Structure 1
Amino acid sequence: MPDSTLKNRIDAAQSANLALRERRNDRWYPQFHIAAPAGWINDPNGLCFYQGRYHAYFQHHPHSSQWGPMHWGHVSSVDLVTWTREPIALAPSLEEDRDGVFSGSAVEGDDGRLYAFYTGHRWRNGINEDEGNIQVQCMAVSSDGVTFEKHGVVVEGPADLLHFRDPKVWRTEGTWWMVFGACSARNRGEVWLYRSENLTDWVFDRILYRDPDEDSFMLECPDFFPLGDHWVLLICPMGRTPRGYTGRNGHHAGYVVGEWTPGGDFSPLTEYRHLDWGHNFYAPQTFEAPDGRRILFAWMGAFDRELPTQADEWAGQLTVPRVLSLDSRLRLRNRPVAEIALLGKDSRAFGTFTASEGVRDVVAGIDTAEIDLVLDLHATTAERAGLSIGRTSDGAEAAFVAYDDQMGRVVLDRRASVTADRGIRSAPARATEDGTLALRVLVDRGSVEVFLNEGEESISSFAFPGAGERRVALMVESGEAAVKELTIRPMSGHWG
């Protein structure tokens, strides 16, 4: 179809989204996380730095707060924290993407234009996925990062594959590479690798990775990038069985670290590990910033349950941007980018003290905050000690973030949440050499992100507080907590 068709589809989507925005309820709408003006969003797409600005595109259904035919929403920024809303970038307009412009990535070509790669999606029966998908990899090109021209299919999918999507493109040693997720003819999750010399003509290279877990039938949203002397493969396995603390969500995101040389096989050096332990963390994607940092965004949302915000005419947000690094144990650390400090207001420090058993209000009337809590585990006798977040006058709390000494883990407990979306998630915790455990907690109106010891582990979850004044309290159970530091900084909004 001509470009006028794409423009008309985008204009219609913009108008529908504007009308939906008028009905949005802001009780849990984020102040410093990326979300659409209204409607549904999921995976981050096309993350890049282009023409002096950071660009974050995302899966978006602009017509309602339910999942539907996917478009690419778009925001941009000069500093990673103050964002400008851009027009919707892509909408279904071709036969190959008639049922959705699915996830993908973007790179700057040698001609200075931005090349976006995405999965064109169709239902085989024209209605739903009962008979499977028809999925191909498509390309669109832009000279400004805002308006795109579609160039159609660049990689056809094998006819017998039911899942074949989410292209991530990068360049190494002068060659362009593309990975995407696939479900093999034997119903196993795989990552396929293609290569190109010109971004247009792609040839199959090899199956880069096959999930050893036989329950895993698809590896969504793969990403593959170097960190130091190693390569990291991000994958989102579908179908894994819950075991212990792992696999508790309907959708999972993790990583494998290994070695790879262009033209060779990927040799894993680690097992699959969780990247984040929370209820709502999926589809992470990374890009390299101009200063060399590897920066990640992920989606906070859910496919397997109704979100309370859907009644408010919006659903889904992105995590804060995070910097990735590998430690000496080949564990992937993730922590908020330094630019997050630009959003902080005047901080309040409470010093060093010992807290006895019970609940101690720390601050009231606060919707958004960055909280630093450092516990001396050698001197702490409590079975659980941490922060009651979004606490209202009736004692209900959106989340309890605490170190649990019996579990040896940090828990994010939503048992007192006012919504039906409850449950507990936890991450393994260990004291540093000086015996301390540092928790950095980012609280938005309806979400909590917890980072342990400079990003050794993280827990990201929605947590919806009740009506009324929201408080943060220190809660200690069965003993005393030795607090070395407690600092709270309110956070400002982020739209420029």
Structure 2
Amino acid sequence: MKEQLERAEAGVAKLLEGRSDRWYPLFHIAAKAGWINDPNGLSYFNGRYQVYFQHHPFGTQWGPMHWGHVSSEDMVTWRREPIAMAPSIEADRDGVFSGSAVVSDDNQLVAYYTGHRWRNGVNEDEGNLQVQCMAVSDDGITFEKTGVIVECPEGLLHFRDPKVWRMGDTWYMVFGACSAENRGQVWLYTSTDMKSWEFDRVIFTDPNPRVFMLECPDMFPLDDKWVITYCPMGTKPERYVARNGHNAGYVVGDWQPGGVFEQITDYRTIDWGHQFYAPQSFEAPDGRRIEYGWLGSFTMPIATQEVDGWCGQFTVPRELTLDKNNHLRSFPIAEIEQLRTETIDFGAFELGLNGDKVLVDDDGGAVEIELEVDLASTSAERIGLRVHNTPDGGHTYVAYDDLAGRVDLDRRLTGNGDRGHRAAPYEGGSQLRLRVLVDRGSVEVFVNDGAESITSYSFPNKGPRAVVLCAESGVTKVNGLKVHRLRTIWESPDR
């Protein structure tokens, strides 16, 4: 694999020469250059958090998949590592697809991934030949592939994205699959030695008959329940739900090893934005369930693909919890606060009828905004933040819409890339809390301590990027407002 990895590193270096940083993220994980998609192999190993990702090092479009790699001691400051895996054996000749990583009893990092081949050698018109493979590492940087550990069952055209965890003496592995009846399913396998795996059961079938494949499944416990997150292929837009070409959601249920998964909630959306896909979680050493998602799209052109030399980034790491209604809540991990370099505290105030208040007027390209509004004392029809507000009037608008009862992210005037808007439901209550993370080319909105989130690209026009608070057709009572400037996450920011 050495030759293939060297070629991949050379491909990234060539793209890096022409990389534009106008929208390149300061505090979100992205490759130095080239394309990335799914988070892979999330783990804590050798005293560092290990994050791998699907990576095409030779261009800004999706292509033959490699595993890129970054690591961190604290999930705050990150170090770029060499590309971890490249297509190098017959089983993965067309791509080292998504997977996960766990630590073995002999202190090796064991990665499980899908080895991908096109049945016709060109594309998936005749389906995929996908097998599950294993690779081991002593340091998390250099991997040795050990080959296929789960063959593709007869008749399955989609069978990928292994996620592995351990309970007691047994290892468990789930895959996404398209059944012979063209239904989206999650399959469960078990092992006692990490090498020999046996089929246990189809642990979940999406009840929607249109859904033919469940990509990137994850299965994990929260409190006394089990959560299955997955990405259904084949959904159709229905009002606010499933508006993207690729969507992600979850179900909650009861499960015991050796038994069936008893679903107790309907399918629910994880994130309501334009760009959130392929989430993967892991258990941190302190027991928190941490998740990353991918900001990107396979179906919609991304502005950075044209001339910027890179495409794709991750969300900030999010802590997952279940509330009393079995609703999955996600919120930026506490460590994100260590990125703050300066805080502007506006305190409490009232914003008058149709008023505007400039919060940042020089460059709000990497900021975090904490806003609390007293809705009981507010008459405005919409209360919003214009972020990435450029001198020509371009901006992305994040607002609570009192008429719709939703929090909206509107890119109609952003300036570059796809437009459109997305809206998350508001759970109610007189105190609206918004936490908005604005990077050079993205916006993440968290509503009322993670009850809902909205994640979207936002590619502003040239010039300073201001942040403006505004009220529409009424006054707004602000209980608190802070703006934090954020530093870069990179250990060596010189690319």
Alignment TM-score, normalising by the size of structure 2: 0.98
| Residue number in structure 2 paired with 1:299 | 294
Alignment of 1:33-44 (within 5 A): 33-44=28-39
Q: What is the deviation of 1:420? A: 3.6
Q: Secondary structure at the match of 2:139?
A: coil
Of the three residues 383, 387, 394, the one matched with 1:389 is 387
Give yes or no for contact 1:372–1:438 (8 Å, CA) kept in 2: yes
Q: What is the deviation of 1:8? A: 0.7
| Residue number in structure 1 paired with 2:275 | 280
| Residue number in structure 2 paired with 1:319 | 315
Give yes or no for contact 1:75–1:83 (8 Å, CA) kept in 2: yes
What are the Cα deviations for residues 238-274 of structure 1, in whole angstroms up to 9, with x where unaligned?
1101111101001111111111000000001100101
Q: What is the deviation of 1:359? A: 2.9
Q: Secondary structure at the match of 2:90?
A: coil
Structure 1 position 343 matched with structure 2 position 339: yes
Distance across 1 between alignment mates of 2:48 and 2:285: 10
Distance across 1 between alignment mates of 2:345 and 2:154: 61
Alignment of 1:15-54 (within 5 A): 15-54=10-49
Q: Secondary structure at the match of 2:304?
A: helix
Structure 1 position 170 matched with structure 2 position 165: yes
| Residue number in structure 2 paired with 1:3 | none
Of the three residues 80, 103, 106, the one matched with 1:111 is 106
RMSD: 0.8
Identity of aligned residues (%): 59
What are the Cα deviations for residues 288-338 of structure 1, in whole angstroms up to 9, with x where unaligned?
000000000010000011100112110000000000000000001100000
- The residue type equivalent to 2:159 in the other structure is F
Of the three residues 216, 221, 231, the one matched with 1:236 is 231
- The residue type equivalent to 2:401 in the other structure is D
What are the Cα deviations for residues 349-394 of structure 1, in whole angstroms up to 9, with x where unaligned?
1111111214322111221001001111111111111100000112
Give yes or no for contact 1:448–1:462 (8 Å, CA) kept in 2: yes
Q: What is the deviation of 1:480? A: 1.2
Distance across 1 between alignment mates of 2:292 and 2:21: 23
Give yes or no for contact 1:438–1:454 (8 Å, CA) kept in 2: yes
Of the three residues 76, 83, 105, the one matched with 2:78 is 83
| Residue number in structure 1 paired with 2:359 | 362
Of the three residues 355, 372, 375, the one matched with 1:374 is 372
Between 81-90 and 411-420, the greater mean CA deviation after superposition: 411-420
Q: What is the deviation of 1:159? A: 3.0
What are the Cα deviations for residues 15-65 of structure 1, in whole angstroms up to 9, with x where unaligned?
110111111011000000000000000000000000100000000000110
Of the three residues 409, 426, 430, the one matched with 2:427 is 430
Distance across 2 between alignment mates of 1:117 and 1:283: 16
Q: Secondary structure at the match of 2:260?
A: coil
- The residue type equivalent to 1:391 in the other structure is N
Task: Give the 4+ runs in structure 1 shifted more than 2 A.
Answer: none
Q: What is the deviation of 1:482? A: 1.2
Distance across 1 between alignment mates of 2:193 and 2:232: 31
Q: Secondary structure at the match of 2:285?
A: coil
Give yes or no for contact 2:342–2:486 (8 Å, CA) kept in 1: no
Of the three residues 382, 402, 405, the one matched with 2:399 is 402
Distance across 2 between alignment mates of 1:425 and 1:128: 32
Distance across 1 between alignment mates of 2:456 and 2:284: 26
| Residue number in structure 1 paired with 2:221 | 226
Q: For structure 2, which runs of at least 5 residues remain unmatched after alignment? A: none
Distance across 1 between alignment mates of 2:387 and 2:111: 40
Of the three residues 394, 409, 413, the one matched with 1:416 is 413
Between 422-431 and 167-176, the greater mean CA deviation after superposition: 422-431
Distance across 2 between alignment mates of 1:305 and 1:330: 33
**Count of residues paired in the alignment:** 488
